Amino acid sequence: MEKQQCARCGKQIEVDTSSGDYCSECAAKIRSELALSFQLKPVLPWLRKRSARLPFVTLALVVLNVAVYLFISQSLSAVLEM
């Protein structure tokens, strides 16, 4: 049986394995890491987007509050002057 080194840990492995260039341990590790990264992949950009958009949303809410306050106080003083 032909032998080669595991591309990750350098252990001697048989070329005939189904995991290609890696020994069975490293192949299992790589598989679980891939699964983890696939699980985290949709969450991380979403979180980054949320946190990047948060100050803008807060700013927009503050501006809206000020606008509503100014509008109400203006119409109130208009009512009071009548």
> How far apart are CB 47 and Zn ion at their closest, in Å?
33
**C-alpha distances out from residue 62 to 56, 67, 74, 75, Å:** 10, 9, 18, 20
Q: Which is nearer to Zn ion, 8 or 17 (CB)?
A: 8
- Residue 29 sits in the site that holds Zn ion (CB under 5 A): no
Q: In sequence order, what are the residues at sequence separation of 6 or more whose Cβ sits closer than 8 angstroms to the Cβ of residue 6? A: 12, 13, 21, 22, 23, 26
Number of residues in contact with Zn ion, rule: CB under 5 A?
6
- Residue 8 sits in the site that holds Zn ion (CB under 5 A): yes
Binder among 5, 9, 60, 70 for Zn ion (CB under 5 A): 9
